[in-house]
Amino acid sequence: MDDPHQVNTIIATTVCAFFKGHPDVQIGTEEAKLLAKQITEALNEAGLQIAAVNEITPR
């Protein structure tokens, strides 16, 4: 995706939603954003790209 902020926001929102169902473990919004950034960086370092469906070029 061209907008890394959007990717990080999607991942952070998903992380927060996951932890909502686990009352014994909590994660704050800022922590989720940092985690999302680390996940995105790890994917990039592994040579993977996150792209919207309409941005994927067929092989």
Q: What is the C-alpha separation between 30 and 33, in angstroms, rounded?
A: 5
Q: Assign 30 a pLDDT band (cuts: 50, 70, 90).
A: very high
Do residues 32 and 16 make contact, with C-beta atoms less than 8 angstroms apart? yes
| Token output for 1 | 């995706």
29 and 12 Cβ atoms separated by less than 8 Å: yes
Q: What is the pLDDT of residue 3?
A: 81
Q: Which of 10, 14, 19, 13 is nearest to 50 (CA)?
A: 10
Q: Is residue 5 scored above 90 in pLDDT?
A: no
pLDDT of 17: 93
* Higher pLDDT pick, 22 / 42: 42
Largest CA distance in the chain: 45
Is this structure's pTM higher than 0.85? no
